[in-house]
A and B are shown apart, each in its own frame.
Chain A
Amino acid sequence: MAKFKHAIVVGASSGIGREIARQLAASGCRVGAVARRGERLAELEKEFPQLIVPCVHDATDYDSVPKVFQDLTGQVGGLDLIVYASGVMPIVEVDEYSFEKDKAMIDTNVLGAIAWLNQAAERFSHTGHGSLVGIGSVAGDRGRMKQPVYNASKAALHTYLEALRNRLDRKGVKVVTIKPGPVKTEMTAGLDMPGMMEPEQVAAFVIKKASKTGEHYVSPKHAVIFAIIRNIPSWIFRRLNI
């Protein structure tokens, strides 16, 4: 397992991202921790004073990303890993078609990811090293009735990362897609889902796989189940209640 020395985690104020930042810092890595809630980042910094570099930023403020990214890599002292973990999943009823909620998901889950990861991809393509990780989801494997745009946002992220992988693999850069199933975080608070994982567990998995280019399901069970789900013909899938 590669030992990372300089990392950025976007979406480091709670859930999976916060755990990734914490575990990286605990291994001695300097981490640029990005999110909107500064007080949460300050708590992290208190926990790892020399290692967490807090950066208050809204990932949907796309125009500011190039400068924020560059300044942060400067403060961190380099970059060998970036994880984009920011994401939103507002509750959407099965008969709800709220453009506002849908746009919020595309803005953060897709465009924010592209704004940040494009910067990292450009940098890594020139330096010839680095790992770029996006937190996708099993939810992106099919369009399902409950979360059309969340599903679409994760599918877009997966395809974008696949394309980056094809661009950057030959330059020595790792591009990694992580597909967790349900995880106990603020995003899923109040949702009752079977087999929920702890964010610590997912974070450890992300760090372990961060230097292994490719797509990774966090749970081996999901790897099998979603291989089947991905191949269910559409005319059957639309009749199922999943």
Chain B
Amino acid sequence: MDLPTPQHLALPGDKIREITGFGMSFRADSYVFQPTTLDEVREVFALARQVGRNIVLRGAGRSYGDAAIDAESIALDFTQMKRFLSWDPETGIAECEPGVTIEDLWRTGLPHGWWPKVVSGTMFPTLGGALAMNIHGKNNFRMGTLGDNVLEIDLMTVDGKVRTLTPDQELFYAAISSAGLLGVITRVKLGMKKVHSGDLKVYAESLPNWDAQIEAFEKRAENADYMVSWVDCFGSGAGAGRGLFHAAWHLPDEDSESLLPFHQDLPEKIAKVVPKSQVWRILKPLNNRFGMKWLNAAKHLSGKFVGNRKMHTQSLVAFSFLLDYVPNWRNAYLPDGFIQYQTFVPKEAAKRVFAKQIEMTQEAKMEPFLGVLKKHKPDRFLLSHSLDGYSFALDFKVSEETWPRLQRLCQRMNEMVIESGGRFYLAKDGTLTPEHAQAYLGENLTTLQLLKKELDPEGLLTSGQARRLKLFESA
């Protein structure tokens, strides 16, 4: 990492890059530094002070909105700090630098029969970024969040000090979930789950409406390892809430071949002909209301007639990271990108709130092109998004022209979520207002502000999101 010498006070001009949230609708130019050691992280803290800039922490940039970007700041990118500090194939316990990804974890663990206990719908997040957001998987209702499954972390505060945190310390629950605003997670120690096969047994069921959706989850919550459901957001009237539910179970029988990466790796071509790197180009012309209405209906029909109420096996990677199957799929949303809007609503209110959300998007003729339903359980992390209930994640296309309307729509939907006692997820947020953040975080926001005063009194660490939500302005 080349840092400028102290007498040269300008930042190196060749470090500047445009960085974006995963949805590409939030963009900012930042001076990007990629440290490889703890001392290099400390050097960047010192440099930021010298030139009077803030720092935004960044992992793989898989958060959709503005959580890992900040205009004109120094972006401290941990993707090159990615060593395994220790790994025991006997116990499945790994100690990692923050840039180790979920992909690195499964590639290291799976050949020895270990699978990460919590994974997101994409394998590219870094552990630092994933813990800063405290990610959940399709097994959240059973396993909790990633933070619930971590043994120990190191947190480096902006004074350069490193403290080791374990689940018996309060700060552990704040450092995890606080979106990189209190310090840098520099080391993660976690255990993985023992598996005997690299495949899952998967059950698919086509569902006609919202009632059937919630029923499907509740029926299998006792014994399924994973559950997720797709919702056709163009379905209305009797078809509102229709979709395709999947539950999956680990297989108990030893199948060492299926544990190997070549069994897991996704094929290079789709239907054996189309190179997967080009698939987004096919999707792009369909990426409008009419194309997507048609595509969603086609998916619903195929779910109804192919494999409905049947079991099949699927590799862990294919089931867990379906979205990674099509590289650059997000480019279909260019030029202005998209947002993912995911809200978490208590069990009793979930059906009502989510059905109403879809009605509102249909009235506004701004239907989400993708809707995904998951079941959750509460946890004790400071900025937790999870609760005893359900989440609904919606992908909305953004255009310069419709963005103000889309923001207003999401803000009206936020009101309903807040009124039901629901929560939001900073990794997916681009539309919350300071008032909405205050409303759902309540006391926890005050705790965050007190911790900020203690651990980062100069306010060196920030993000576009922290500024937008004015998280520290009332502190």
| A126-B71 contact in complex given A67-B10, A70-B11, C-beta closer than 8 Å | no
Q: Which of A71-79, A82-90, A93-101 contacts B (4 or more CB under 8 A)?
A: A71-79
A67 CA to B13 CA, complexed, in Å: 10
| A77-B72 contact in complex given A66-B13, A70-B10, C-beta closer than 8 Å | yes
Q: Write out the residue numbers on chain A whose beta carbons fall within 8 Å of the beta carbon of B14.
A: 122, 126
Q: Write out the residue numbers on chain A whose beta carbons fall within 8 Å of the beta carbon of B17.
A: 126-127
Name the distance in Å between A102's Cβ and chain B's nearest Cβ.
31
Q: In this assembly, does A184 line the interface, its C-beta being within 8 Å of a C-beta of chain B?
A: no
Q: Chain B: interface residue count, which band?
A: 10 to 19
Q: Write out the residue numbers on chain B whose beta carbons fall within 8 Å of the beta carbon of A78.
A: 28-29, 71-72
A20 CA to B183 CA, complexed, in Å: 43
| A119-B18 contact in complex given A74-B53, A78-B72, A79-B29, C-beta closer than 8 Å | no
A119 CA to B11 CA, complexed, in Å: 12
A2 CA to B191 CA, complexed, in Å: 51
Q: In this assembly, does B16 line the interface, its C-beta being within 8 Å of a C-beta of chain A?
A: yes
Q: In this assembly, does A49 line the interface, its C-beta being within 8 Å of a C-beta of chain B?
A: no
A127 CA to B69 CA, complexed, in Å: 14
Tell me the count of chain A residues lying within 8 A, CB to CB, of chain B. 15
B16 touches A126 (CB 8 A): yes
Number of A-B residue pairs, CB cutoff 8 Å, is: 35
Q: In this assembly, does A129 line the interface, its C-beta being within 8 Å of a C-beta of chain B?
A: yes
CB-nearest residue of chain A to B19: A127
A127 touches B29 (CB 8 A): yes
Name the distance in Å between B273's Cβ and chain A's nearest Cβ.
32
Query: For the complex, would chain A's binding face be called helix, strand, loop or mixed by DSSP majority?
Result: helix
Q: Write out the residue numbers on chain B whose beta carbons fall within 8 Å of the beta carbon of A128.
A: 18
Q: Write out the residue numbers on chain A whose beta carbons fall within 8 Å of the beta carbon of B13.
A: 66, 70, 119, 122-123, 126
**Residue among B10, B11, B15, B29 with most chain A CB within 10 A:** B29
B72 touches A74 (CB 8 A): yes
**Residue among A66, A119, A126, A128 with most chain B CB within 10 A:** A126
Q: Write out the residue numbers on chain B whose beta carbons fall within 8 Å of the beta carbon of A67.
A: 9-10
A66 CA to B17 CA, complexed, in Å: 17
Q: Write out the residue numbers on chain A whose beta carbons fall within 8 Å of the beta carbon of B28.
A: 78
Name the distance in Å between A204's Cβ and chain B's nearest Cβ.
21
| A129-B18 contact in complex given A73-B72, A78-B28, A78-B29, C-beta closer than 8 Å | yes
B18 touches A66 (CB 8 A): no
A84 CA to B13 CA, complexed, in Å: 19
A66 CA to B18 CA, complexed, in Å: 19
Q: Write out the residue numbers on chain A whose beta carbons fall within 8 Å of the beta carbon of B18.
A: 127-129
A92 CA to B9 CA, complexed, in Å: 41
Q: Write out the residue numbers on chain A whose beta carbons fall within 8 Å of the beta carbon of B71.
A: 77-78
Q: Write out the residue numbers on chain A whose beta carbons fall within 8 Å of the beta carbon of B29.
A: 78-79, 123, 127
**Residue among B9, B13, B14, B15 with most chain A CB within 10 A:** B13
Name the distance in Å between A190's Cβ and chain B's nearest Cβ.
41
Q: Write out the residue numbers on chain A whose beta carbons fall within 8 Å of the beta carbon of B16.
A: 123, 126-127
A66 touches B10 (CB 8 A): yes
A66 CA to B14 CA, complexed, in Å: 12
A141 CA to B71 CA, complexed, in Å: 40
Q: Write out the residue numbers on chain B whose beta carbons fall within 8 Å of the beta carbon of A79.
A: 29
CB-nearest residue of chain A to B400: A3
Chain A window 115-151, contacts with chain B (Cβ cutoff 8 Å), 1 for yes, 0 for no: 0000100110011110000000000000000000000
CB-nearest residue of chain A to B18: A127
Name the distance in Å between B19's Cβ and chain A's nearest Cβ.
9
A73 CA to B13 CA, complexed, in Å: 12
CB-nearest residue of chain B to A127: B18
A67 CA to B11 CA, complexed, in Å: 8
Name the distance in Å between A85's Cβ and chain B's nearest Cβ.
23
A119 CA to B13 CA, complexed, in Å: 8
Name the distance in Å between A17's Cβ and chain B's nearest Cβ.
23
Name the distance in Å between A171's Cβ and chain B's nearest Cβ.
11
Q: Write out the residue numbers on chain A whose beta carbons fall within 8 Å of the beta carbon of B15.
A: 126
A155 CA to B53 CA, complexed, in Å: 39
A128 CA to B18 CA, complexed, in Å: 7
CB-nearest residue of chain B to A129: B18
A79 CA to B16 CA, complexed, in Å: 12
CB-nearest residue of chain B to A76: B72
Q: Write out the residue numbers on chain B whose beta carbons fall within 8 Å of the beta carbon of A127.
A: 16-18, 29
**Residue among B11, B14, B71 with most chain A CB within 10 A:** B71
A128 CA to B24 CA, complexed, in Å: 14
Q: Write out the residue numbers on chain A whose beta carbons fall within 8 Å of the beta carbon of B72.
A: 73-74, 77-78
A78 CA to B15 CA, complexed, in Å: 14
Chain B window 4-37, contacts with chain A (Cβ cutoff 8 Å), 1 for yes, 0 for no: 0000011101111110000000001100000000
Name the distance in Å between B212's Cβ and chain A's nearest Cβ.
46
CB-nearest residue of chain B to A172: B18
Q: Write out the residue numbers on chain B whose beta carbons fall within 8 Å of the beta carbon of A123.
A: 13, 16, 29
Name the distance in Å between B405's Cβ and chain A's nearest Cβ.
17
A79 CA to B17 CA, complexed, in Å: 12
A127 CA to B14 CA, complexed, in Å: 9
**Residue among A78, A123, A128 with most chain B CB within 10 A:** A78
Name the distance in Å between A76's Cβ and chain B's nearest Cβ.
8
Name the distance in Å between A68's Cβ and chain B's nearest Cβ.
9
**Residue among A74, A122, A123, A129 with most chain B CB within 10 A:** A74
Q: Write out the residue numbers on chain B whose beta carbons fall within 8 Å of the beta carbon of A66.
A: 10, 13
Q: Write out the residue numbers on chain A whose beta carbons fall within 8 Å of the beta carbon of B52.
A: 74
A14 CA to B71 CA, complexed, in Å: 30
Name the distance in Å between B245's Cβ and chain A's nearest Cβ.
42
Can you give 30 A-B contacts (C-beta < 8 A)?
A: A66-B10, A66-B13, A67-B9, A70-B10, A73-B72, A74-B52, A74-B53, A74-B72, A77-B71, A77-B72, A78-B28, A78-B29, A78-B71, A78-B72, A119-B13, A122-B13, A122-B14, A123-B13, A123-B16, A123-B29, A126-B13, A126-B14, A126-B15, A126-B16, A126-B17, A127-B16, A127-B17, A127-B29, A128-B18, A129-B18
Residues of chain A at the chain B interface (Cβ within 8 Å)? 66-67, 70, 73-74, 77-79, 119, 122-123, 126-129
Known: A123-B13, A129-B18. 17 other contacts (CB 8 A): A66-B10, A66-B13, A70-B10, A70-B13, A73-B72, A74-B52, A74-B72, A78-B29, A78-B71, A78-B72, A122-B13, A123-B16, A126-B13, A126-B15, A127-B17, A127-B18, A128-B18
Residues of chain B at the chain A interface (Cβ within 8 Å)? 9-11, 13-18, 28-29, 52-53, 71-72
Ranked nearest first, the 7 interchain pairs of A and B with the lowest CB-CB distance are A127-B18, A67-B10, A74-B72, A70-B10, A122-B13, A78-B71, A127-B29
